[in-house]
Amino acid sequence: MDNILAAARIIAAARRSRAPLNSLGVDLAPRDEADGYRIQRAVHDLLLPHAGAIVGYKIGCTSAVMQQYLGIPHPCGGGVFEKGVHDSGARLAAADFIRVGVECEIAVKLARDMPPSEAPFTAEWVAEAIEAYYPAIEIVDDRYVKWETMGAPTLVADDFFAAGCVLGDPVSRTAAPDLLAVTGRAAINGEEAGQGTGADVLGHPHNALAWLANHLAAEGKGLHAGQLVLTGSLVKTVWLKAGDSVTMELSGLGNVSVAFT
């Protein structure tokens, strides 16, 4: 069995059993991020029966606050599974996560395919492919004994903390505000826990979407109509405990909420 599949099996088993991942060991840890993405694809295949189809992607490390927090100076991508997508107002069990956290995001739904043959993609190009925007909460899970020691390639292999999302009501592209002016506020149990703007996401959330389209195209993969993309957090991750309720307010896009019971 090759190392890619062996590493993927360890990660997938840890996720299914909700066991904190310590290390993949010297032999199986991805050497670089390209290796990490190869393992990630194998993890997706192993988790499909458990988590449902891949319905889109999350982009991490798109803002200065998150790049500094994680110590990774560039974006990283992960998968979003069908069973991890929830409507605003959802009540989720905190026990379904190892250490649950939330991020405040602008999500997009795609109106058309972006095949790799059309690369390179620009922010202007991908803007035309968007059907709607959503105020979104990305759910993240610290699935590690100590994430700071895992290294970016292993975090990439394990979907870069991705554990699902909660979506508010869609706003059509033609009705959406200027994303640079959108302010996102995170409130936990009614107390503000951070804020940022659309401009904090790689200068514009469309830049993050273009990064993802080009990243996938380099692997010979494309984005597809109907897929969901979480473009990156406007605020630093907020870690939660059971009983916490979360509301994210994104000016001009609306609110989205979730409670962890």
Structural domains in the chain plus CATH codes: 55-260 (3.90.850.10)
**Residue range 7-26: average pLDDT?**
95
Mean pLDDT throughout 170-196?
Answer: 97
Q: Model pTM?
A: 0.97
Instruction: Report the alpha-carbon distance of residue 156 to residue 212 in Å, rounded.
Output: 14
Tokens of 172: 């059509």
Average pLDDT over residues 171-189: 97
pLDDT tens-place string over residues 41-100: 999 999 999 999 999 999 999 999 999 999 999 999 999 999 999 999 999 999 999 999
Whole-angstrom distance, CA of residue 93 vs CA of residue 239: 15
Task: State residue 1's pLDDT score.
Answer: 59
pLDDT tens digits, 132-158: 999 999 999 999 999 999 999 999 999
The answer to whether 79 touches 54, Cβ cutoff 8 Å, is yes
Whether residue 252 has pLDDT greater than 90 = yes
Quick check: 20 pLDDT over 80?
Answer: yes
